[in-house]
Amino acid sequence: MAAGQRAGLTVQASRMRLRREHRDRLIQVDMVTPTGPCQRCVIGVSATIGVDGGWSGRVKIGCAAAEDGGNLNDWQVPIMRGREAVPLQELTQQLADTVKERERVAAARKEGIKGPYAFDRIRWETL
């Protein structure tokens, strides 16, 4: 995915799942930062595309601030909220912002600063 590469990310996996009951396909791409403190932390991008090819032109970005791919079953890991409908033309910038925010959240957690952590209209919070 070119937008991820421009944001400094590497594609780890991609998949497409046909959902007959919804008459659509779910496209998912998992990316990681190739360097830095969180090399195994996945940033997921997904889009739903109708079987007729129609879609909203928006994607969802998902990310958790687990340290270096740590235990995502830990209920104390902050999850990013607010990038559920990113316009495709903003994807590169929103991915870059996600990486920066994740690093800031991880640093704050190491210093003992409790969340939720807010950035503009984005929140990182535990479930």
- Classified as helix, coil or strand, 10 is strand
- Residue in the structure block whose two tokens are 């535990």: 126
| In a domain? residue 119 | no
Q: How high is the pLDDT of residue 95?
A: 96
Q: How high is the pLDDT of residue 80?
A: 95
- Indicate the residue type of 55: W
| In a domain? residue 49 | yes
Q: How high is the pLDDT of residue 102?
A: 92
- Taking the C-alpha atoms of residue 117 and residue 91, their distance in angstroms, rounded to an integer, is 21
pLDDT one-digit tens code per residue, 57-97 = 999 999 988 765 555 556 678 999 999 999 999 999 999 99
- Closest of 65, 77, 79 to residue 33, by C-alpha: 65
| In a domain? residue 126 | no
| In a domain? residue 24 | yes
**Cβ atoms of residues 105 and 78 within 8 Å:** yes
Q: How many domains does the chain have?
A: 1
| In a domain? residue 121 | no
- Taking the C-alpha atoms of residue 124 and residue 117, their distance in angstroms, rounded to an integer, is 5
| In a domain? residue 78 | yes
Cα 59 to Cα 34, 48, 92: the distances in Å are: 22, 8, 12
pLDDT one-digit tens code per residue, 7-62 = 999 999 999 999 999 999 999 999 998 876 566 678 999 999 999 999 999 999 99
Q: How high is the pLDDT of residue 36?
A: 62
Sheet containing 43-50: give its strands across: 10-19, 24-32, 43-50, 58-63, 86-87
- Taking the C-alpha atoms of residue 125 and residue 127, their distance in angstroms, rounded to an integer, is 7
Torsion of CA 107, 109, 113, 114, to 10 degrees: 140
Domain of residue 78 covers 2-114
